[in-house]
Amino acid sequence: MKNELKVAGIQADLAWENPKENITFFEEKINTLNKDIDLIVLPEMFTSGFTMQPENVAEPMNGFSVSWMQEMAQKHQIAICGSLVITENDKFYNRFIFVHPNKELETYNKRHSFTLAGENKVYTSGVERIIINYKGWRICPLICYDLRFPVWARNTDNYDLLIFMANWPVARIKAWETLLKARAIENMSYVVGVNRAGKDANNYEYSGNSLIIDFLGEELSSLNYNEIGIVSSIIYKEKQDIVRNKLGFLNDKDSFSINY
């Protein structure tokens, strides 16, 4: 088990439906990172922006973008995660993909489709939450709109790190910041939230405001409005465990089940 985990999130102005241009940008950023980074987090739909035309950019799991993630993870001996538009069995998914340094893959399909944009009409929702084990850390990955649903994020699996990646618009950016901190506080967990910046082809604006937050809701690292760059911090499992054991808040959580 590794007590310290060095995490970095890359905030970008995504090129609309242009996987190669976006991947070139992220590769350049990754190559500038310190060699001791353990985990890199990319935004939601990091190769395309939040498109409702998945047929324009969808790839299979053995496609260019996933292969690139595996190449980067192996080359730098780090874990990389982000969401992509994936096609599988004649369906489209907004899929979180976690790549281990040995190129092993773990995936999560976005549970809550953003109906305001019609995501539910073109993408198939996921029905399972996963916990990823990486260097002794238990990581729960969620995507954008999932942030608004605390029951789905509830720490019933004793996870250590909650990850959100998003295309969250500037019009509701206060909700993004507030809910990230709420998820950290109520689940006594580190939270990494990586959002995009810039403007997309639909003229929606995104300010980024990516954050890394500790288990008591304190900001450890943040990016300014519309800044293109990297949010990073070292997080400490032992420190989190000590506070959890001292306060015991998670021991008093409600028991429940989710019906689909």
Residues annotated as catalytic are: 44, 110, 144
At 15 the three-state DSSP class reads coil
Residue 87: partners with Cβ closer than 8 Å, 6 or more residues away: 54, 58, 59, 60, 93
Q: Which residues pair with 9 in a beta bridge?
A: 41, 231
The residue count for the chain: 260
- Assigned token pair, 87: 């096609």
The answer to whether residues 149 and 187 touch, using CB atoms and an 8 Å cutoff, is no
Block residue for tokens 């901190």 = 181
- Assigned token pair, 10: 């890359």
Residue 216 DSSP one-character state: T
- Assigned token pair, 42: 């990319």
Block residue for tokens 């935004």 = 43
Calculate Rg over the CA atoms of the chain: 17
**Residue in 166, 228, 225, 227 with CA at minimum distance from that of residue 191:** 166
